[in-house]
């Protein structure tokens, strides 16, 4: 029976952190000679749901989840279980799925840190100028601020595809940050309506956004200033 291992992480504030988790999965795959992939509970792709789907498609007889977030994160532990339950309820015959203790509490982590302390040290030097650059004092001049929920439920529902579609369509229309500032957020609360997109200052909320609706939001609302299907600001409904 083939076991697939999924390293499950939370979103971080920069894409290099996501790439680090993916590289860790690749290195572990080479070391074990077995299927190992990275996935994310929120904020990045692939989602845990998508990774489980891929494991099933690839013939996994069982799946082992490894929480990789440092430090230990109760949120990650809770939402791994919730996300798995949501996924399993929609499968005809899902493989058994189990979860390890978090990476943060594994005894070998202490050994790894001790080896880092005993290893090569690199002196730090450099000028602090960029830390307080004048460029970071200018408020962006964007006409619209678009919030895309990347909480765990919206991520499971397909928020990554929504973000990608918005980004591509805005690029096609040559709308940069001075026109439309797209910001990924944590939970925006009406989770059952996800994926959620909110356009400010219009206070217009779009529920259940898929790639088609994201395209219309970019083309009609953000480019032409015409909310999709005549939607009105939330405060006026």
User: 159-189: string of b/e by CB count within 10 Å (b at 16+)?
Assistant: bbbbbebbeebbeeeebeeebbbbebeeebe
Q: What is the pTM of this model?
A: 0.84
Rg (CA), the chain: 21
> Where does the chain have alpha helices with state H?
15-32, 48-57, 74-88, 107-118, 152-157, 159-172, 211-216, 224
- With beta carbons less than 8 A apart as the criterion, state whether 37 and 51 touch: yes
Quick one: pLDDT at residue 127?
75
Quick one: pLDDT at residue 66?
95
Domain 3-104 has CATH 3.40.50.1400: yes
Quick one: pLDDT at residue 15?
67
Look-up of token digits 């490894």: 66
Residue-range domain boundaries for the chain: 3-104, 139-236
**First and final CA of the chain: distance in angstroms?**
55
> Would you write out the chain's pLDDT as a tens digit for each of its 237 residues?
799 999 999 887 666 788 999 999 999 999 999 999 999 999 889 999 999 999 999 999 999 999 998 877 788 889 999 999 999 999 999 999 999 999 888 999 899 989 999 999 999 887 777 777 777 788 888 999 999 999 999 999 999 999 999 999 999 999 998 899 999 999 999 999 999 999 999 999 999 999 999 999 999 999 999 999 988 887 665
Quick one: pLDDT at residue 22?
93
Contact partners, residue 154, CB within 8 Å, separation at least 6: 187, 188, 191, 194, 195, 196
CA pair distance 197, 146, nearest whole angstrom: 7
Quick one: pLDDT at residue 73?
79
Quick one: pLDDT at residue 162?
97
Contact partners, residue 133, CB within 8 Å, separation at least 6: none
CATH level 2 (architecture), domain 139-236: 3-Layer(aba) Sandwich (3.40)
């Amino acid at each position: 029976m083939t076991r697939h291992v999924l390293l499950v992480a939370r979103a971080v504030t920069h894409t290099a952190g996501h790439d680090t988790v993916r590289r860790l999965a690749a290195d572990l795959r080479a070391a074990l000679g077995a299927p190992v992939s990275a996935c994310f509970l929120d904020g990045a792709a692939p989602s845990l749901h998508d990774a489980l789907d891929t494991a099933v498609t690839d013939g996994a007889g069982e799946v082992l989840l490894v929480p990789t977030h440092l430090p230990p994160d109760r949120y990650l532990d809770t939402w791994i279980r919730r996300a798995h339950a949501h996924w399993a309820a929609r499968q005809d015959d899902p493989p058994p799925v189990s979860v390890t203790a978090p990476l943060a509490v594994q005894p070998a982590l202490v050994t790894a840190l001790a080896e880092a302390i005993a290893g090569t040290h690199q002196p730090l030097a450099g000028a602090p100028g960029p830390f307080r650059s004048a460029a970071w004092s200018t408020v962006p001049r964007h006409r619209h601020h678009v919030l895309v929920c990347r909480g765990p439920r919206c991520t499971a529902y397909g928020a990554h595809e929504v973000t990608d579609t918005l980004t591509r369509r805005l690029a096609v229309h040559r709308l940069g940050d001075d026109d439309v500032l797209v910001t990924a957020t944590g939970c925006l609360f009406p989770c059952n309506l996800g994926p959620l997109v909110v356009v400010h200052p219009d206070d217009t909320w779009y529920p259940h956004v898929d790639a088609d609706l994201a395209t219309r939001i970019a083309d009609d609302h953000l480019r032409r200033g015409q909310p999709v299907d005549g939607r009105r600001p939330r405060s006026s409904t």
